[in-house]
Structure 1
Amino acid sequence: MLKQLFLIFFAISIAHTATAQVTHRYKDHIFNDISVTKDLTYFVGAPKADKKSYLFDLYTPNVDTAKKRPLMIWMHGGGFKFGSKTSKGVKVWADDFAKRGYVCVSINYRLSKHNPLFNFDTLMKATFYATQDAKRAIAYFRNNAAKYGIDPDKIVLGGNSAGGMMALHAAYTKNNELGRMAHLSDQEIQRVGMPNQPIFAVINYWGAIFNLDWLSNAKTPIIAVHGSEDGLVPIRHKDAPLHGSLDIYDRAEKLKIPNTLKVYEGYSHELQKSFNPLFEGPHAKKRWLESAQFTADYLYSMMYPAKAKR
């Protein structure tokens, strides 16, 4: 009898261990080693003065034989005035998702020469031009899908703060809507406007959109994370025409746009307890990684709905 009980216990233990060791590509970390190729360009013909604005770093898992992998394009924050493709947040997420089997790129984009943080009209103009760069990046990677081993139908656009705003506006706005709101002439909008590109999903980390009505333009799934006490980009609309993640979630639900939102109660911008643009601290980074897992779980459920329900 004791021998039988031991064998049953042993079999259950082996089964539990085997189950615990099961990992899923795109949901879990399945690669340990990542290669980073720096300072590539997504706009070969860029004017000399803007060449640095179109550089990107490529993150790929080593020893990966898959040929058509989802691509994540990461865009940094910094109020359209500061930051780069090497900003801490986008490096963390690009590395994290590459370990899950994604191809990731962190891109530069044109920053404002003025002060978007203190002038709303300048902020709208900066958003317009940066959003065109996001669309250019998507077009580049769609046209070079085979070169980078990516699936052109699974391009995810993501970012934090200003980068989250870029992702939302690239997916949901028409050039004339955003350009006219920014008080640009029709000639200027036509001159620099890039065509809208298909996007598999948007990752909006503590960003916002200028006009909720623009959500009627598409059905692109939205994955959002935001701090409830964010004073820089409020989670809900306040004085300026800027609508945060909770506003977006409510409208997306009404429009039946697939979306999900994780709110960090009591936390501010960048998921810090008190926002400090110069030092995020180790605890904020922990929440950034939690946000990555939240995002990975939702994207996996989109790509493999049957498996996700098991």
Structure 2
Amino acid sequence: MTAENKYGPEEMCSLILPSFLLIKFNLLAMSNCLITSSDLLQGCEYKLGVCGPMLKFKSAVTNSFICSFVLISCGGNSSYTSNPFPENNIQPPANNPVLLSDISYGKTDRNKLDIYQPGSVCEENRPTVFYIHGGAFVGGDKKSSSITNYSNKIKEKAWNFVSINYRLVRHNPVLSPTFQAAFDGLVENNNIQSIDLAVANAAIAALEDTTDALNFLNDNADEYCIDMSRLGFWGVSAGAYTVLGAGYSLDNFGVDIPQPDVIVNFYGDLFQDSHLDFMEAPFITIHGDNDPTVDYQHALDLAAQADLVSVPYTFITIANGGHGGFDLEADVMPNDTSIMDTILSFLEAHLIGGTADYDTVTVSF
């Protein structure tokens, strides 16, 4: 895990200690501190580190104290957030977002995730949106260009946003026996016969990695201030295949994962529509009716299955839309709001509470 540092190594601040001592501190990444404490550093964006060559304390206690001093409020459940020198009126900046990057959740170097947190102190575990990037199972990354916008929108709600990397075709993923059985079942049922088998294998590996990531977050929920009972899935293209499969298909193969309260589907598809069962998580679909990559009919079929099993949904069709590239901020919805606002309202209704609007609409740009 790494932490973003918003200050350059040359920027300084002064802290007046008891009257006999005035020390200047460099604001550096916490990895540069002389002494670090994992309990104190966990989840913090940056710390006040005594890293300059001019300071050489003999006392390990003094070094540990200064290097552990929290300059700003921490994400996660760090308990060390108060200012030990209130007389100097040093206040942490409010709502300064935190990025916890490249956290290992699985067996390979590819199995890393990022957690974007609001900067407020964790007073109670937060709703969390779990995001999976697209790329046809051959490309893509957890830091794709859209991540900054999506994560910022979620952090404005004071929620967490988690983005994962998963194994792709080029990693030649080897499936565990459970997921190998899922792969064999899908191939046998001819549900993925039109897809290259290497891509199909990677698609199931993505489901396995998603399972590992969700179980990791569940096991470490308090550390990262995550409320797993208020969990949303969000996927784009191949990522949408994955979140739909995780939300609706895995239980058909005996795989138990933390269940989502809501799913955001950007032009994806469910491997087998019949996997969507009675009263499972509501979803919102955004799909172009001229999509050359994932046929629009798949979105229609998913909606029809949802009607059959009483799963509520919102279905936004982009007239003459292709495979993505939509302006999510344009006010194209019937109520003169944007698609992004509609998505955020849909998430909020299911993660926080309130009345959800379930609509089927076609919009044009």
Structure 2 counterpart of 1:132: 208
**CA-atom RMSD in angstroms:** 2.9
Unmatched 5+ stretches in structure 1: 1-30, 178-192, 237-243, 273-282
- How far did 1:87 drift? 0.8
Identify the structure with the greater helix proportion: 1
Q: Specify the SS of the correspondent of 2:277.
A: helix
Structure (1 or 2) with the larger CA radius of gyration: 2
> Which residue, out of 133, 136, 140, partners 1:83?
140
1:220 alignment partner AA: A
Structure number with the bigger relative contact order (C-alpha 8 A, sep ≥ 6) is: 1
Range with greater deviation from structure 2 (258-267 or 99-108): 258-267
Query: 2: distance between equivalents of 1:98 and 1:57?
Result: 13
Query: 2: distance between equivalents of 1:160 and 1:148?
Result: 24
Structure 1 counterpart of 2:198: 122
Q: Specify the SS of the correspondent of 1:166.
A: helix
Say whether residues 1:172 and 2:248 are aligned partners. Answer: yes
- How far did 1:299 drift? 2.2
Q: When the two structures are superposed, what TM-score results if normalisation uses the length of structure 1?
A: 0.69
> Which residue, out of 236, 242, 248, partners 2:302?
248
Query: 2: distance between equivalents of 1:285 and 1:298?
Result: 15
Query: 2: distance between equivalents of 1:292 and 1:172?
Result: 24
- How far did 1:40 drift? 1.5
Query: 2: distance between equivalents of 1:299 and 1:119?
Result: 32
Query: 2: distance between equivalents of 1:84 and 1:303?
Result: 26
Query: 2: distance between equivalents of 1:165 and 1:207?
Result: 5
Say whether residues 1:270 and 2:270 are aligned partners. Answer: no
Aligned-pair identity (%): 24
Say whether residues 1:92 and 2:166 are aligned partners. Answer: no
1:125 alignment partner AA: N
Structure 2 counterpart of 1:186: none
Say whether residues 1:220 and 2:281 are aligned partners. Answer: yes
Structure 2 counterpart of 1:26: none
Query: 2: distance between equivalents of 1:166 and 1:61?
Result: 26
Q: When the two structures are superposed, what TM-score results if normalisation uses the length of structure 2?
A: 0.59
5 Å-filtered alignment, 1:59-208, equals 59-113=116-170, 119-174=195-250, 195-208=256-269
CA gap of 1:306–1:74, structure 2 versus 1, over 3 A, is: closer
Structure 2 counterpart of 1:278: none
Structure 2 counterpart of 1:28: none
- How far did 1:216 drift? 2.3
2:311 alignment partner AA: I
Say whether residues 1:42 and 2:42 are aligned partners. Answer: no
**Is the 8 Å Cα contact of residues 230 and 352 (structure 2) preserved in structure 1?**
no
**Is the 8 Å Cα contact of residues 69 and 103 (structure 1) preserved in structure 2?**
yes
Query: 2: distance between equivalents of 1:210 and 1:270?
Result: 20
Q: Specify the SS of the correspondent of 1:145.
A: coil
Query: 1: distance between equivalents of 2:354 and 2:282?
Result: 18
1:256 alignment partner AA: S
1:295 alignment partner AA: I
CA gap of 1:176–1:216, structure 2 versus 1, over 3 A, is: closer
**Is the 8 Å Cα contact of residues 231 and 351 (structure 2) preserved in structure 1?**
no
1:79 alignment partner AA: A
> Which residue, out of 279, 283, 292, partners 2:340?
292
Query: 2: distance between equivalents of 1:194 and 1:112?
Result: 23
1:105 alignment partner AA: V
